[in-house]
A = this chain, B = another copy of it.
Amino acid sequence: MWSGGSKPRIGFVPTMGYLHEGHASLMRQAAAENDITVLSIFVNPLQFGPNEDFETYPRNEQRDLSIAAENGVDLVFMPSVSEMYPRKVLTKVLVSDVTDRLCGASRPGHFDGVGTVVSKLFHLVQPDRAYFGMKDAQQVAVIQQMTDDLNFPVTIVPCPIVREPDGLALSSRNVYLNAEQRAQAVVLSSSLAKAREWMKDASLTPAALVNKVRAAISEAPLANIDYVEVLEYPALATPEAEAPFHRTQQRYILALAVKFGATRLIDNELFEPVEVNGNV
Contacts and interface: CB of A to CB of B under 8 A. Distances in A.
Contacts of A119: 150
Interface stretch (A120-128, A181-189, A197-205): A120-128
Nearest to A112: B94
B91 A149 contact: yes
A69 B124 CA distance: 33
Interface residues of A, number: 26
A242 interface: no
A9 to B, nearest CB: 15
A240 B170 CA distance: 56
Nearest to A119: B150
Contacts of A96: 90-92
Copies of this chain assembled into the complex = 2
Contact of A91 (B7, B93, B126): B93
A275 interface: no
A153 interface: yes
Name, among A91, A123, A151, the residue most crowded by chain B CB atoms within 10 Å (CB to CB).
A91
A102 B98 CA distance: 33
B90 A98 contact: yes
A152 interface: yes
Interface in A77-117: 88-98, 115-116
Contact of A116 (B123, B124, B150, B152): B150
Given A90-B95, A92-B96, A120-B150, 18 more contacts: A89-B149, A90-B96, A90-B97, A91-B96, A91-B115, A91-B145, A91-B150, A93-B93, A94-B94, A119-B150, A120-B149, A120-B151, A123-B150, A123-B151, A123-B152, A123-B153, A124-B151, A124-B153
